[in-house]
Amino acid sequence: MSIYSGPVFAMAAEQFRIIADHLEIPEQDRDRLLYPKRAVAVSIPVHRDDGREQVFQGYRVQHHLTLGPTKGGTRFAPDLEVGEVAALAIWMSWKCTLVGLPYGGAKGGVACDPRELSRRELEAVSRRYMQEMIPFVGPHTDIMAPDMGTNEQVMAWFMDTYSMHAGHAVNAIVTGKPVAVGGTVGRREATGRGVAYLIGRALEAVRLRAGEATACIQGFGNVGSHTALTLARRMGVRIVGLGDHTAAYYDPAGLPLEAIVKHAADKGVLAGWSNQAAIPGEALLEQRCDILVPAALERVITEHNAPRLNCRILAEGANGPTTPDADRVLDARREEIFVIPDILCNSGGVIVSYFEWVQDLQQLFWTEIEVNDRLERLLEMAYQQVMKRAAARNVSNRMAAQAIGVERVRAGKRLRGLFP
């Protein structure tokens, strides 16, 4: 029995079982690797603008303490539950060790719809959430970051609330905060930039030229929009499909990205831009393109649509977009579709978060060129390790990436003993 349930946790557990079988990890060692070290659940009472009091549920899950503090994003979403948060914390662990960061994975969030909250209400939820988490987090214990539904402003409120408690500014408590309060240059764009960098490497692997390639991107938030912009502006990729929770567009001749970015900046959503190129949201993932980037929700590529994916490269910007059942289909299509698995593909975000934390601890700030150079170096190292292992063991890129992550956590646990 455990408190972790729901489809997303079941998916993380099933993925772990597959890797553990592959690595021949004895049954008795598995639970300690899979189950989170800690989970904190809090109630967050706030005054709504109409005078009502409302209580939201908040969570923070810290997966393991073996290699350093825990690190992970904060998700504000209406149907958030602790199993989903735990799954995201587990994936974060494999991701951090894959790219060589001295962290365990964490994740947190509040079950609320940030789109329904006024700015004042959002600030109240954010501050109260951090207030409740103060005993459990710290710059050397657990460092928060943004995820779906949160942004730089929320991180600034988190930092301020923690700092008021400490009596001095503690900017290393969160990453992904504005540069003006100790954030790093390059963090906002980092995840999308990393996705685009790895797409560049995958294009080389499948012998396609960026200037002749097309891309479809699901999700137009932080990850999706910066991936689209980097692909189009820096690499000359033609963006043919875009979608968010309100609309999806597809035009094989290419979408006018700059006009759509302007529309999204004005309206906050993609809906209302055009009727002509509109398609049903669920059809976007199956459109013909060279590069498909799911950059919104988990579990959108299933055994139902995986056989119909019509791309050459699947670059997983989102966390957990592909179910294990879909993965079996993709494994059979390995020659047709090159998968850049999530824990590698979107790791640019946590890599630059790590750089932000290091800069905050040292109070010594880097230039954007330094940030981007170091980002590319870590991505390249991880990419090569994954490619080498996948080829040497004849396994999928996902299996190779996850196996590296799990092995490193396991090695740390073996050296340290039972405690962490």
65 binds ligand NAD (CB under 6 A): no
Q: Which of 222, 227, 323, 402 binds ligand NAD (CB under 6 A)?
A: 222
223 sits near ligand NAD (criterion: CB under 6 A): yes
Task: Please report whether residue 86 would count as binding ligand NAD according to CB under 6 A.
Answer: no
Contact 108, 60 (CB under 8 A): yes
Q: How far is CA 147 from CA 106, 295, 355, in A?
A: 12, 12, 17
- Nearest-angstrom CA–CA distance, 157 and 170: 12
Name residues contacting ligand NAD, limited to 264-283 (CB under 6 A): 281
What percent of the residues of the chain are helix, what percent strand, and what percent coil, each to the nearest 5? 50, 15, 30
| Residue 36 found at the interface with ligand NAD (CB under 6 A) | no
Q: Is 389 in the site for ligand NAD (CB under 6 A)?
A: no
C-beta closer to ligand NAD: residue 296 or 329: 296
Q: CA 221, CA 397: separation in Å to the nearest integer?
A: 26
Residue 83 makes contact with ligand NAD by CB under 6 A: no
Distance between start and end Cα atoms, the chain = 21
Say if residues 140 and 101 touch (Cβ distance below 8 Å): no
* 295 near ligand NAD, rule: CB under 6 A: yes
CB 174 to ligand NAD: min, Å: 13
* Listed ranges 46-54, 146-154, 158-166, 369-377: which one lies at the site for ligand NAD (CB under 6 A): 146-154
Q: Classify residue 349 as exposed, middle or buried by CB count within 10 Å of its CB (0-12, 13-18, 19+).
A: buried
State the nearest-atom distance from the C-beta of 351 to ligand NAD, in Å. 10
Which residues of 63-123 form beta strands (DSSP E)? 70-77, 104-111
Q: Kindly state the helix (H) or strand (E) to which residue 330 belongs, with its residue range.
A: helix 324-332
Closest Cα to residue 212, out of 243, 189, 240?
Answer: 240
Q: How far is the CB of 315 from ligand NAD (least distance, A)?
A: 12
Please tell me whether residue 257 binds ligand NAD under the rule CB under 6 A.
no
Contacts (CB under 6 A) with ligand NAD, residues 227-246: 243-245
Query: How buried is 297 (Cβ within 10 angstroms: 0-12 exposed, 13-18 middle, 19+ buried)?
Result: middle
Among 70, 218, 322, 402, binds ligand NAD (CB under 6 A): 218
Q: Which is nearer to ligand NAD, 372 or 413 (CB)?
A: 372
Tokens linked to 9: 């946790």
Phi, psi angle pair for 40, to nearest 5°: -115, 130
CB of 347 to ligand NAD, least distance (A): 7
Q: Binding to ligand NAD by residue 323, rule CB under 6 A?
A: no
- The nearer residue to ligand NAD, 304 or 416, going by C-beta atoms, is 304
Minimum separation from the CB atom of position 23 to ligand NAD (A) = 25
To 5 degrees, how large is the angle CA 274–CA 280–CA 285? 110
Instruction: Please identify, using beta-carbon distances, which residue of 226 and 408 lies nearer to ligand NAD.
Output: 226
Judge whether 378 and 344 are in contact, CB under 8 Å: no
Please, which residue, 89 or 296, has the CB nearer to ligand NAD?
A: 296
Does the footprint of ligand NAD cover residue 329 (CB under 6 A)? no
Which residue is closest to ligand NAD by CB? Answer: 221
When asked if residue 186 is in the footprint of ligand NAD (CB under 6 A), the reply is: no
Phi, psi of 211 (to 5 degrees): -65, -15
The answer to whether 340 and 187 are in contact (CB under 8 A) is: no
Is residue 71 part of the annotated active site? The answer reads: no
Under rule CB under 6 A, residue 319 binds ligand NAD: yes
Chain position carrying tokens 């137009």: 220
Query: Which among 37, 71, 95, 107 is annotated as catalytic?
Result: 107
Interface with ligand NAD, residue 182, by CB under 6 A: no
Among 108, 109, 186, 349, binds ligand NAD (CB under 6 A): 349
Contact assessment for residue 360 and residue 182, using Cβ atoms and an 8 Å cutoff: yes
The least distance separating ligand NAD from the CB of residue 193, rounded to whole angstroms, comes to 10
* Contact residues for ligand NAD, defined by CB under 6 A: 146-149, 191, 218-224, 243-245, 281, 295-297, 317-319, 346, 349
Active site positions, annotated = 107
